[in-house]
Amino acid sequence: MHDSGIAQLARALRARETSATELAQRSLSAAQAQAGLNAFISVCAEQALDAARHADAALAAGSVKALVGIPFVHKDIFCTSGIRTTCASRMLENFVPPYDAAVVEKLAAANAVSIGKTNMDEFAMGSSNENSCFGPVRNPWDTTRVPGGSSGGSAAAVAAGIVPFATGTDTGGSIRQPAAFCGITGLKPTYGRVSRWGMIAFASSLDCGGMLARSAEDCALVLTAIAGHDARDATSVDRPADDYIAALSTSLKGIKIGIAHEYFGAGVEEGVAAATQAALRELEKLGAVLVDISLPNAPIAIPAYYVIAPAEASSNLARYDGVRYGHRCADPASLEDLYTRSRSEGFGAEVQRRILVGTYALSAGYYDAYYLRAQRARRLIANDFAAAFASVDLIAGPTAPTVAFKLGEKFADPLAMYAADVNTVAVNLAGLPAISLPAGFSAGLPVGLQLIAPAFAEARLLNAGHQLQQHTDWHTREPAP
């Protein structure tokens, strides 16, 4: 399983070299053997084996679905009917949804086999997967280091070879940064390309569902299954999806890639910059034309994001009040005591911090000074991308300024932690698609190359990623067992 992607496993299934049941059993055994990574919140063996039996029946009947019988995991932010969905929070520790999220429905309809739900930063708030009431996830490349966040459990499960792909969500880099830290491929689609229905909200104008896998080809297969309009999601865009698989083989000759110098600024480790530049030279060998560009408002992305995202979080998380569902404190003395203690006990420190920041930014007297100014900054950032894409096809830079850092290294310093997202948050503010691709190593740890495209140009990203991976082997490297 460790060295096989979706395409390879699909061929093996159709050739009857293995079965969906055998693959599910191997994934479940691998999850148990690598329990020390703490990548899982729930392992769903019974449901996985039942789904695998249905997949084997579909294969016997001649199913040609690309994902039939392929084992995977869901980030524990997607609602799953009859299976608890916790968001790695004590607030939802025992919450069992009565319905499936749209992404869950689509992957079930594709006959893919979910083996469980993965650990994450609480309510997707974090860059290291240390903000979980179930404890931190460990990076398979070095278990003393973080896997990135918030989709760290999903990234670790793929990097460790437990499953060939995983779902994730990206609000400010939460798919791309863990993909970079764990040496795998992660795709954040355009906002509105994948339905958010049933995906528990953090910041509604920024949240985006996507996937983590070994390769761009595998990401294309998964995106084909989950992309599309959903009338239940008011932010879902009614626009036909491209043929992501057909686009993979397109030549890169003449494609213009903008190199944003702001993404190579202060704070970017020398080894990360060197590995990224080496990957860009490989793209140049394939016919791409590298063009220097500027995104002048990139430095204000972090402050704008950390006003807008907490403001939306404070609104979205107001529903967790101890009355309707979620954690409820014992023996409240009054309604105020019920609210106060339920939220204090249910939410972790980072979630509380962001709720307080967001509530402050939205309060009377500060709304104009903070929230409205952040939204104006968001427009400037989007305008920068629009201007750049008038002359280039893609924009490139390091996904993260550093390699995976040590567990606990930045945990007590929120500002240092937030800086880990310096190259990713602007993409969410502008609603654009982006991909992180393995781009070599620095000090023995994986480095990620980020490519950004105009809205709904996921096919262009996947094509560039696939062509790079056809001529390099970084995406095939594996952590030591």
Rounded alpha-carbon distances, angstroms, from residue 330 to 133, 333, 346, 363, 405: 19, 9, 12, 30, 39
Question: Does the active-site annotation cover 150?
Answer: yes
Question: Does the active-site annotation cover 42?
Answer: no
| Eight-state DSSP code of residue 274 | H
Per annotation, catalytic residue among 89, 127, 128, 150: 150
**Residue 233 burial (C-beta neighbours within 10 Å; 0-12, 13-18, 19+):** middle
Query: Do β-strands 394-398 and 256-260 pair in parallel, antiparallel, or remain unpaired?
Result: parallel
Q: Is 434 helix (H, G, I), strand (E, B) or coil?
A: strand
- First-to-last alpha carbon distance for the chain, in angstroms, is 13
Within 8 A by CB and 6+ apart from 62, the residues are none
> For residue 49, how many other CB atoms are within 10 A of its CB?
16
Per annotation, catalytic residue among 174, 215, 314, 436: 174
Query: Do β-strands 394-398 and 434-442 pair in parallel, antiparallel, or remain unpaired?
Result: unpaired
What CA–CA distance (Å, rounded) separates 474 from 481?
17
Question: Does the active-site annotation cover 75?
Answer: yes
Torsion of CA 471, 476, 477, 479, to 10 degrees: 170
Q: Is 376 helix (H, G, I), strand (E, B) or coil?
A: helix
Report which of 416, 469, 28 is spatially closest to residue 216, judged by C-alpha positions. 469
CB 321 within 8 A of CB 332: no
Rounded alpha-carbon distances, angstroms, from residue 365 to 213, 313, 370, 376: 46, 20, 10, 18
Per annotation, catalytic residue among 19, 75, 154, 342: 75
Q: Where are the alpha helices (DSSP H) in 169-234?
A: 176-182, 216-226
Q: One-letter amino acid identity for 210?
A: G
Residue showing tokens 């950032």 = 381
What CA–CA distance (Å, rounded) separates 35 from 37?
5
Q: One-letter amino acid identity for 403?
A: V
Report which of 358, 417, 398 is spatially closest to residue 130, judged by C-alpha positions. 417
Q: Which helix (H) or strand (E) holds 213?
A: strand 209-213
Within 8 A by CB and 6+ apart from 447, the residues are 180, 271, 272, 275, 276, 398, 399, 403, 438, 439, 440, 441
Both tokens of 466, joined, read 């696939």
Catalytic residues: 75, 150, 174
